[in-house]
Amino acid sequence: MNTIAIQLQRLPHGDGLPIPQYQSAHASGLDLTAAVAADASVVIAPGERALIPTGIAIALPVGFEAQVRPRSGLALNHGVTVLNAPGTIDADYRGEIKVILVNLGRDLFTVERGARIAQLVICAMVQTELCIVAKLDETTRGARGFGSTGIASGSDRDQ
């Protein structure tokens, strides 16, 4: 497994919270926690969204990005997810990581200080050079799009 060093700055309102950490040996996402005030939980009503601070900032090396992704347990159990999933953090961003949570559930959802609210996945990335062409290379699939590969396996696929 490859590792890289990432500089992390704990902001004053993140004091006392754990730094993001992997929850298992082969996890790809570091858990982000809510850095809301202990006496000022954030309540998200059904259909509403809220910007939740994490109390940290990071310095990614050039050639890397971070993605803010939902936690599956929050989505399954409460209908709460990351609104712009995945949220992208570029290598030149130095501000606080914040998470836009949306409540797609039926009940109020309370975000308390220290709650694990999202995952942070660090990824290698490349920038591309777009080249304008008159025609794209042919493939077997061609321009067939949404649903074109069907839901069944093998020879039962939709054509």
Q: What is the pTM of this model?
A: 0.86
Give domain limits for the chain: 7-156
Report the first-to-last Cα separation within the chain, whole angstroms.
Answer: 40
Cα distance between residue 102 and residue 121, in whole Å: 20
Mean pLDDT (whole number) for 109-118: 98
pLDDT tens string 145-156: 887 777 776 555
pLDDT tens string 31-70: 999 999 999 999 999 999 999 999 999 999 999 999 999 9
7-156 under CATH 2.70.40.10, yes or no? yes
SS3 12: helix
Cα distance between residue 26 and residue 29, in whole Å: 9
Cα distance between residue 5 and residue 72, in whole Å: 27
Confidence of residue 158 (pLDDT cuts 50, 70, 90): very low
